[in-house]
Amino acid sequence: MSLAKGLEFRAVVVVACDEAILSLDERVADAADEAELDDVYGTERRLLYVACTRAREHLVLTGLRPGSEYLVDFSE
């Protein structure tokens, strides 16, 4: 997702938008303190936003339930 910044595509598919992947459990577990944990959450949220906003015409999100909490940002 980080490679998509500044680019546009006719269609974008973002896979694995489920809770275990976004935010990545490994990055959360490695956070040393609350500030670093907030940074991990913020970075993951921004990366998803960037990936989704690269689509000009079509956007498909896939994942298992429960979905990532970040998907709530797109329902508003």
pLDDT beyond 80 at 55: yes
User: Considering the entire predicted model, what is its pTM?
Assistant: 0.80
57: three-class secondary structure by DSSP: strand
Report yes or no on 33 lying in a domain. Answer: yes
Query: 31 phi and psi, to 5 degrees?
Result: -65, 130
Counted domains in the chain: 1
Q: What is the pLDDT of residues 58-71, one digit of tens each?
A: 999 999 998 898 88
How far is C-alpha 74 from the chain's CA centre?
A: 11
Range of the domain at 36: 2-58
54 phi, psi to nearest 5 deg: -85, -10
Please name the residue that has the structure tokens 């690269």.
Answer: 54
Answer whether residue 45 is part of any domain: yes
Query: Is residue 65 a part of any domain in this protein?
Result: no
For residue 17, is pLDDT > 80? Answer: yes
More reliable by pLDDT, 59 or 28: 59
- Residue 67 located in a structural domain: no
- Average pLDDT of the chain, as a whole number: 87
Confirm whether 14 is domain-assigned. Answer: yes
The number of beta carbons lying within 10 Å of the beta carbon of residue 73 is 12
pLDDT of residue 76: 60
